[in-house]
Copies of this chain bind each other. A is one copy, B any other.
């Protein structure tokens, strides 16, 4: 069972069995270490030698084994990202920008889907940590204590996103869902609305936005707000169901939705019932879906800039990766804010 490589050097790309650094080194007529350097730190190697190595790489079809590299260097160039779901994800823009930033710097992405379950998240964190990622990104700030413990012990940069907390595991980049609720309530009250309706899917952050809204409304004397909670994830159908539910409970003037997707469903249901938006019914959404505000000229929404958030996350991680000493470890606690886009002119 001779496994040492004795491939025919004159027949390039002929074998499937793994080509190693040693093979490349032999073909190039240099030491393995020189190949490694030529590939990763070419400035330390004479141009001529680099060229020989590169030719040998092409000739052999060598693909560096990053498992071995990561093990030896104790750096994986891997970032784990944990999201609730990929369906209709409000995180889409954030993830896109984050991954773009990481990829541009040579990092790769491990994805895990928690399905809104802190227990699932715990298992995923445990498993993903086994890959020794250089950093990890988690949606939200609500984790089991075991998860938090693991993460703190891992001694790698952790970014909790799309939320804020006073007791972050490490870094936080997000905004206050309570503030969103309050801001929306005040905004709508300021516009003179009297009869409210609220629709949310059963997502922790969405619920907090809506509950905060309802609480703020109560503070202004508006109580017993009809509130429809539907199963996650948010879909257009859920939005339609939500509006149907609200209408059955007496039609509101304004419907606030926990997400743009839901709001789109509400618009669809309104259209099919012949309700004019915003004349008969005003609708407010929430999200970073690029086109959300364009669904209907009449749809208002809370806009969060996912692309910027994603870039900031990538930036925060890359800065940490580049940090030499702990002195360089900037603390990131970023309130990314949000804005209310009001399309209405009632």
Instruction: Name which of A17, A131, A237, A265 has the most chain B CB atoms within 10 A of its CB.
Output: A131
B236 touches A155 (CB 8 A): no
For the complex formed, measure the closest distance between the CB of A273 and the CB atoms of chain B, giving whole angstroms.
Answer: 11
Count residues on chain A whose CB falls below 8 Å from chain B CBs: 66
Q: In this assembly, does A88 line the interface, its C-beta being within 8 Å of a C-beta of chain B?
A: yes
CB neighbours of A100 from chain B (8 A): 113
- Known contacts A64-B130, A85-B96; A271/B290 CB under 8 A: no
Q: Which of A172-180, A187-195, A218-226, A294-302 contacts B (4 or more CB under 8 A)?
A: A294-302
Q: Which of A67-75, A136-144, A311-319 contacts B (4 or more CB under 8 A)?
A: A67-75
- Known contacts A64-B130, A93-B87, A108-B110; A237/B272 CB under 8 A: no
A92 touches B96 (CB 8 A): no
Q: In this assembly, does A86 line the interface, its C-beta being within 8 Å of a C-beta of chain B?
A: yes
Tell me the A112-137 residues at the B interface (CB within 8 Å): 112-113, 124, 126-132
Partner of A132, one of B16, B67, B124, B296: B67
Q: In this assembly, does A49 line the interface, its C-beta being within 8 Å of a C-beta of chain B?
A: no
CB neighbours of A235 from chain B (8 A): 289-291, 294
Contact with B along A300-338 (1 / 0, CB 8 A): 000000000000000000000000000000000000000
Complex CA distance for A108 and B113, rounded to whole angstroms:
10
Complex CA distance for A89 and B87, rounded to whole angstroms:
8
For the complex formed, measure the closest distance between the CB of A293 and the CB atoms of chain B, giving whole angstroms.
Answer: 9
A271 touches B291 (CB 8 A): no
Q: In this assembly, does A33 line the interface, its C-beta being within 8 Å of a C-beta of chain B?
A: no
CB neighbours of A237 from chain B (8 A): 290-291, 294
B290 touches A87 (CB 8 A): yes
Partner of A96, one of B86, B132, B294: B86
Contact with B along A92-116 (1 / 0, CB 8 A): 1101100110010010111111000
Tell me the A248-280 residues at the B interface (CB within 8 Å): 264-265, 267-268, 271-272
Partner of A68, one of B71, B124, B296: B71
Instruction: Name which of A17, A64, A130, A296 has the most chain B CB atoms within 10 A of its CB.
Output: A130
Partner of A66, one of B61, B66, B108, B131: B131
CB neighbours of A126 from chain B (8 A): 63
A131 touches B108 (CB 8 A): yes
Q: Could you jot down 13 A-B contacts, CB within 8 Å?
A: A17-B155, A61-B150, A63-B130, A65-B132, A67-B70, A68-B71, A88-B92, A103-B112, A103-B113, A103-B124, A110-B110, A235-B294, A264-B295
